[in-house]
Structure 1
Amino acid sequence: MIHFVGAGPGAPDLITVRGQRLVRQADVIVYAGSLVNEEILKEAKAGCAIYNSASMTLEEVLEVLLKAERTGRSAVRLHTGDPCLYGAIREQMDALEREGIEYDYTPGVSSFCAAAAALEAEYTLPGVSQTVIITRLAGRTPVPQAENLESLAAHRASMVIFLSAKETGEVCRQLIEGGYPPDTPAAIVYKASWPQEKTVRGTLDTLPALAAQEGIEKTALITVGGFLGGEYERSKLYDPSFSHGCRQAQKD
Structure 2
Amino acid sequence: MTVHFVGAGPGAADLLTLRAARMLERADVCLYPGTYLDEQVLSHCRPEAVLIDTQHLDLDQITAHLTEAHHAGHDVVRLCSGDPSLYSALAEQTGRLDARGIPWDVTPGVPAYAAAAALLGKELTVPLIAQSVVLTRTQARSTAMPQTESLQAFARTGATLVLHLAITRVRALAAELAAEYGPGCPAAVVANASQPAELVITGTLSDIADQVEAHGLKKAAVILVGPALDPAACRGGESHLYDPRRIRPDQPART
Which category of TM-score, normalised to the shorter sequence, fits these structures? over 0.9
Q: In the alignment, is the contact (CA less than 8 A) between 1:138 and 1:148 conserved in 2?
A: no
CA distance in 2 between counterparts of 1:183 and 1:32 reads 36
Structure 2 residue matching 1:104: 3-state secondary structure: strand
Residue 240 (structure 1) aligned with residue 244 (structure 2):
yes
Q: In the alignment, is the contact (CA less than 8 A) between 2:138 and 2:165 conserved in 1?
A: yes
Unaligned runs of 5+ in 1: none
Give 1:216 shift.
2.3
Q: In the alignment, is the contact (CA less than 8 A) between 1:2 and 1:104 conserved in 2?
A: yes
CA distance in 2 between counterparts of 1:112 and 1:49 reads 30
Q: How does 1:166-181 map to 2 (within 5 A)?
A: 166-177=168-179, 179-181=180-182
CA distance in 1 between counterparts of 2:77 and 2:208 reads 39
Equivalent in 154, 157, 162 of residue 156 of structure 2 = 154
Structure 1 residue matching 2:65: 3-state secondary structure: helix
Q: In the alignment, is the contact (CA less than 8 A) between 2:187 and 2:208 conserved in 1?
A: yes
Give 1:85 shift.
0.7
Q: In the alignment, is the contact (CA less than 8 A) between 1:187 and 1:223 conserved in 2?
A: yes
CA distance in 2 between counterparts of 1:113 and 1:165 reads 17
TM-superposition CA deviations, 1:151-206 (whole Å, max 9, x none): 221111101001111111011111123x1111111111111111221111111111
State the superposition RMSD in angstroms: 1.2
Structure 2 residue matching 1:249: 3-state secondary structure: coil
Aligned to 1:165: 167
Residue 130 (structure 1) aligned with residue 134 (structure 2):
no
CA distance in 2 between counterparts of 1:105 and 1:90 reads 11
Give 1:249 shift.
2.5
CA distance in 1 between counterparts of 2:249 and 2:123 reads 25
Q: How does 1:17-28 map to 2 (within 5 A)?
A: 17-28=18-29
Structure 1 residue matching 2:240: 3-state secondary structure: coil
Q: In the alignment, is the contact (CA less than 8 A) between 2:12 and 2:37 conserved in 1?
A: no
Structure 1 residue matching 2:136: 3-state secondary structure: strand
- The one-letter code matched in structure 1 to 2:145 is V
CA distance in 1 between counterparts of 2:189 and 2:164 reads 10
CA distance in 2 between counterparts of 1:46 and 1:11 reads 19
Q: How does 1:101-140 map to 2 (within 5 A)?
A: 101-140=102-141
Aligned-pair identity in percent equals: 37
- The one-letter code matched in structure 2 to 1:14 is L
Residue 86 (structure 1) aligned with residue 87 (structure 2):
yes
Structure 1 residue matching 2:181: 3-state secondary structure: coil
Moved more, 191-200 or 158-167: 191-200
Give 1:251 shift.
2.3
Give 1:51 shift.
0.5
Give 1:64 shift.
1.0
Give 1:250 shift.
3.9
Q: How does 1:184-223 map to 2 (within 5 A)?
A: 184-223=185-224
Q: How does 1:69-84 map to 2 (within 5 A)?
A: 69-84=70-85
CA distance in 2 between counterparts of 1:248 and 1:101 reads 54
Give 1:63 shift.
1.0
Aligned to 1:8: 9
**How many pairs were matched up?**
247
Q: In the alignment, is the contact (CA less than 8 A) between 2:84 and 2:106 conserved in 1?
A: no
